[in-house]
Structure 1
Amino acid sequence: MKRNFLIFVLSILTLPALQRYAVADGIPLQDQCELITTLPERAAEMMVTVDGFVNGLSDFDLQSKTLTIGTVTREEYLEFLKGRAMEYTYEDVEKLKRVAASITKKLDDAGLHPAFPPIIEVIKTDMKEESGASAYTRLNYIAMSADMFGMSDKDFEDVFIHELFHVLSRNNQQLQGKIYNSLGFKKSNEVPYPDGIQRISNPDAPFNNYYITVESADGPVDAMLVLYSLKDYEGGSFFRYAKLGLMVVEGDDNNKTPVVKDGKPVILQLDEVSNFFEQVGRNTGYIIHPEEASADHFRMLVNKESAPDQWIIDKLKTIIQESGS
């Protein structure tokens, strides 16, 4: 009896150590969706999947996302990704459970039932692949930085809601189009970045196929939000190189091409045009792409936050509800 009791006591004392690394079988998120805490081996398999994001990476991307000066191949980039995923701790999993329960209640209270895919995998990463960003998405997974798991539940939840929208949007192209349209953006062909600027790719929005009509000094123009660098990669975070502008395009919706003047693409700054914020709103400063603006609006909607241009939030709610998502 004494021996058995001693074994029992030792098992209790060592339980935290045994649970230092943990996974969850499936964390429920509202209706038919489950969050899976993904082991590093499985995470590496997903992260090296070649998709539209990987295929669209520029030379600048390949260098900056591996923190390498000089030529980097896609194969070398994918190899770099293999070492980014990390193990979950017991505390990490418990945080994700609390956040999922909180988001579920908020969605239910708001009368929202987004059509998330049945399974969303959640990866914990050192985030070196995205210069220390808080989070990003690809395919049907959300990558959260290790630092985020040390943040408050509220801060973690705000970021997670934003990322959930990206998964929803990626899996519902019709819904995505309606939401982008509500901000004034219209669908076109994919428009490659022209010579003169270097593409900085965003895994949440890897495509360049939506434009908005704004008023410039020369009259109305069609333009695309672009994130770019004017310099070659010289080391450090890609955030220090990033510039945002409106690249002017011409042609019909199936044949948009950049307008080039004196051998350079015409890129307007947001303060050089009018009728941009009247369409996109002033609710968020995260307007590098209609996808990111929409994700922030989704966060505001779920959190029932008030906003300067509340009509955008109200319209987003109507679109989601009417779409059956």
Structure 2
Amino acid sequence: MCVLVSCRNDEKDNPVRTVVINYHCATLGEGQQLLLGNSEYHNSLTQNDIDWRMKKTGATLDELKALAKASVREFSEAEKAAIAKGVDYVKQRLETMGVCSLPFPSEDIVFVKTTMAEEGYSAAYTHKTEIYVGEKLLKLAESNPSRFYQTIAHEMFHCLTRNSPSFRSRMYSLIGFTVTGTDYVFSPAIGKMIITNPDVEHIDNYATFTIDGVKRKCVLIVLYSKTWEEASAEEGKDASFFKFNQSVLVPVDALDTYYPVSKVPDFWDVVGRNTDYVFAPEECLADNFAFAVVYGIDGREYKTPQLIADIIALLKEYK
């Protein structure tokens, strides 16, 4: 399936330009094959990652893979129509903005339906050019369309940044982050507590923040605040890492030390205040990209409107 977006030029001499976005909804078998084929991601998971996803201490990667395979579902025809509507809406918004050449992948973006048990019951997530969606999100297509469109745009942002390092670097620079191209290696104590996020393939960027009165280059990451064993002792099987987490800054010259963002006075001045989803620059920007595309500058109130304006200006360079 493809979506054609036409960006018309006022000049009569210039032809109508179109951009083709290829996508399809995976069958059960294709979805299972794609999900289990992400071996690089699975092999990067820590014991904490596996325990939290399996909701038990000492779980194995094989158990998680089995859960992931069992979580994949077939799309109903109505759900396929919802995906088509969501993609079409995002593309229509881009057309209205005059954005015709964003670096979408040439191959199909593949939507896969799962229960989301394999990723802590998140609404959606991505691997490569694959967008995984849950039933809860699909139901929003009818009950809360704008939220549904926003999530589709958010996940498509991850496909864009993976496909184009240049686009990724330009977007990251809007909130002061520099992409180095080399992943940082943290101390074992920090590394084992990092929440591995399928949407964040590389932790290779930094921005400058004020730490104890001194400007320092820091990496933004998110950590588990407790192990599964500790959290489940408090809240039982309902414990979620979306509650037991903390966003922190790690100085690039001290990769064994971290500072909670709540202790950094200029943190929100750097990343903006439009979203609280600041697990990583990638997630912060995906939200802001989605806001810019779905709502524009005037479609909702923003605490940091300049960031939305900057994103729109950058997108319009992709005429």
Q: TM-score range by the shorter chain?
A: 0.7 to 0.9
Asked if the contact 1:29–1:100 (Cα under 8 Å) also holds between the matched residues in 2, the reply is no
One-letter identity of the residue aligned with 1:295 = A
- String of CA shifts for 1:237-291, please: whole Å, max 9, x gaps: 32232121112221xxxxxx50xxxxxx322122322333222111111111111
Q: Does 1:241 pair with 2:244?
A: yes
CA distance in 1, matches of 2:146, 2:268: 28
Asked if the contact 1:116–1:167 (Cα under 8 Å) also holds between the matched residues in 2, the reply is yes
1:99 match: secondary structure: helix
Q: Which residue of 2 aligns with 1:191?
A: 184
CA distance in 2, matches of 1:194, 1:208: 14
CA separation of 1:67 and 1:27: change in aligned 2, threshold 3 A: farther
Residue among 119, 122, 127 paired with 1:138: 127
Q: 4+ residue stretches of structure 1 with deviation over 4 A?
A: none
CA distance in 1, matches of 2:64, 2:265: 40
Q: Which residue of 2 aligns with 1:150?
A: 139
Asked if the contact 1:27–1:100 (Cα under 8 Å) also holds between the matched residues in 2, the reply is no
One-letter identity of the residue aligned with 1:213 = T
Q: Does 1:301 pair with 2:276?
A: no
One-letter identity of the residue aligned with 1:37 = C
CA distance in 2, matches of 1:93, 1:216: 48
Q: Which residue of 1 aligns with 2:115?
A: 126
1:115-264 equivalences in 2 (<5 Å): 115-118=103-106, 119-151=108-140, 152=143, 153-188=145-180, 189-197=182-190, 198-234=193-229, 235=232, 236-250=239-253, 258=255
1:142 match: secondary structure: strand
Q: Which residue of 2 aligns with 1:90?
A: 77
Q: Which residue of 2 aligns with 1:108?
A: 95
CA distance in 2, matches of 1:321, 1:155: 23
One-letter identity of the residue aligned with 2:279 = I
Structural RMSD (CA):
2.0
Residue among 259, 282, 285 paired with 2:273: 282
- String of CA shifts for 1:95-139, please: whole Å, max 9, x gaps: 122222222211100112322123111011100011111000111
1:196 match: secondary structure: helix
Asked if the contact 2:36–2:68 (Cα under 8 Å) also holds between the matched residues in 1, the reply is yes
Q: Which has the larger radius of gyration?
A: 1
- TM-score, normalised by the number of residues in structure 2: 0.83
Q: Which residue of 2 aligns with 1:7?
A: none
CA distance in 2, matches of 1:53, 1:142: 15
Q: Which moved more, 1:301-310 or 1:154-163?
A: 301-310
Unaligned runs of 5+ in 1: 1-25, 251-256, 259-264
CA separation of 1:241 and 1:308: change in aligned 2, threshold 3 A: closer
Q: Which residue of 1 aligns with 2:15?
A: none
1:32 match: secondary structure: strand
Asked if the contact 1:40–1:85 (Cα under 8 Å) also holds between the matched residues in 2, the reply is yes
Residue among 43, 47, 51 paired with 1:59: 47
1:144 match: secondary structure: strand
Asked if the contact 1:196–1:230 (Cα under 8 Å) also holds between the matched residues in 2, the reply is no
Q: Which moved more, 1:308-317 or 1:129-138?
A: 308-317
CA distance in 2, matches of 1:111, 1:208: 32
CA distance in 2, matches of 1:161, 1:50: 22
Asked if the contact 1:193–1:199 (Cα under 8 Å) also holds between the matched residues in 2, the reply is no
Asked if the contact 1:29–1:103 (Cα under 8 Å) also holds between the matched residues in 2, the reply is no
- TM-score, normalised by the number of residues in structure 1: 0.82
CA distance in 1, matches of 2:133, 2:203: 24
CA separation of 1:29 and 1:285: change in aligned 2, threshold 3 A: farther
Asked if the contact 2:110–2:131 (Cα under 8 Å) also holds between the matched residues in 1, the reply is yes
Asked if the contact 1:245–1:269 (Cα under 8 Å) also holds between the matched residues in 2, the reply is yes
Asked if the contact 2:67–2:117 (Cα under 8 Å) also holds between the matched residues in 1, the reply is no
Deviation at 1:230, TM superposition (A): 4.3
CA distance in 2, matches of 1:80, 1:131: 12
One-letter identity of the residue aligned with 1:174 = S
| % identical aligned pairs | 23
CA distance in 2, matches of 1:52, 1:317: 34
